Chains A and B, each alone.
Chain A
Amino acid sequence: MQTSTLVSAEDKRWRLIRATMRRHGFAANALIETLHTVQEAFGYLDEEALRYVAKELRIPLSRVYGVATFYNHFAMKPQGEHHCVVCLGTACYIRGGSRVLEAIEKAAQVKAGETTPDKKLSLLVARCVGLCWLAPVALFDDEVASEATPEEVAQKVGEWVDHVSS
Chain B
Amino acid sequence: MYLPEDELQRIDEEERLLKGQYKHHIHVCLGANCLNAHSAQVLSALETEAKARGLEKVCSVTGGGCRGLCVAGPTVTLEPDNVLYGKVQPNDAGDIIASLGGEPVERLNRPTDNPFFMRQQRIVREMEGRLNPERIEDYIAAGGYKSLLKALNEMTPAEVINEITRSGLRGRGGAGYPTGLKWKTVAKARGEHKYVICNGDEGDPGAFMDRSVMDDFPHRLLEGIIIGAYAVGADRGYLYVRAEYPLSVKRLQLAIRQAQKQNLLGNNIAGTAFNFDLQVRVGAGAYVCGEETALIASIEGKRGQPRPRPPYPAESGLWGYPTLINNVETFANIGAIIRNGSAWYASIGTEKSKGTKVFALTGTVSHSGLIEVPMGTTLREIIFDIGGGIPDGRKFKAAQTGGPGGGCIPEQYLDLSVDFESLASVGSMMGSGGLVIMDDRTCMVNVAKYFLEFCKSESCGKCIPCRVGTAHMFDILDKITKGEATLDDLTLLEELCDTVKHTSLCGLGQSAPNPVLSTLRFFRDEYIAHIVDHVCPAGVCEFEKEAVR
Name A's B-contacting residues (CB within 8 A): 27-33, 35-36, 59, 63, 66-67, 70-74, 88-91, 93-95, 126-133, 135, 144
Contacts and interface: CB of A to CB of B under 8 A. Distances in A.
A56 to B, nearest CB: 13
22 contacts: A28-B301, A32-B284, A32-B301, A33-B281, A33-B282, A36-B282, A70-B304, A71-B286, A71-B304, A73-B243, A74-B284, A89-B205, A90-B362, A90-B436, A94-B436, A127-B454, A130-B32, A130-B208, A130-B211, A131-B33, A132-B206, A133-B70
B284 A88 contact: no
B283 to A, nearest CB: 8
- Among A29, A35, A127, the most chain B Cβ lie within 10 Å of the Cβ of A127
A29 B400 contact: no
B285 interface: yes
B287 interface: yes
Given A32-B284, A133-B70, 18 more contacts: A27-B301, A31-B302, A32-B301, A36-B284, A70-B303, A71-B304, A74-B285, A89-B206, A90-B205, A90-B436, A91-B205, A91-B362, A91-B363, A94-B447, A127-B454, A132-B70, A132-B362, A135-B362
A70 B286 contact: yes
A17 B442 CA distance: 48
B92 interface: no
B284 A128 contact: no
Nearest to B460: A70
B284 A132 contact: no
Given A90-B400, A93-B450, A127-B205, A133 B304 contact: no
A57 to B, nearest CB: 8
Contact of A128 (B204, B282, B285, B364): B204
- The 6 closest A-B CB pairs, nearest first, are A72-B285, A133-B368, A71-B284, A132-B362, A73-B285, A89-B205
B21 interface: no
A74 B285 CA distance: 8
Interface string B359-372: 01011100011000
A63 B362 CA distance: 39
Interface in B334-383: 360, 362-364, 368-369
Nearest to B365: A133
Contacts of A31: 301-302
A60 B244 CA distance: 28
Given A29-B301, A70-B303, A128-B207, A91 B282 contact: no
- Among B206, B285, B442, B454, the most chain A Cβ lie within 10 Å of the Cβ of B206
Interface in B299-350: 299-305
Contacts, number: 112
B64 interface: no
Interface residues of B, number: 46
Contacts of B442: 94
A31 B460 CA distance: 19
B438 interface: yes
Interface string B264-295: 00000000000000000111111100000000
Contacts of A88: 205
Contacts of B436: 90-91, 94, 132
Contacts of A130: 32-33, 208, 211, 360
A159 B195 CA distance: 51
- Among A131, A132, A135, the most chain B Cβ lie within 10 Å of the Cβ of A132
A126 B284 CA distance: 13
A127 B301 contact: no
B29 to A, nearest CB: 14
Nearest to B303: A70
B71 interface: yes
Contact of A71 (B205, B208, B285): B285
B26 to A, nearest CB: 24
Nearest to A36: B282
A93 B438 CA distance: 11
A10 B33 CA distance: 36
Contacts of B70: 131-133
B297 to A, nearest CB: 10
Nearest to B443: A94
Contacts of B364: 94-95
Contact of B363 (A28, A66, A71, A90): A90
A115 B364 CA distance: 33
A130 B286 CA distance: 16
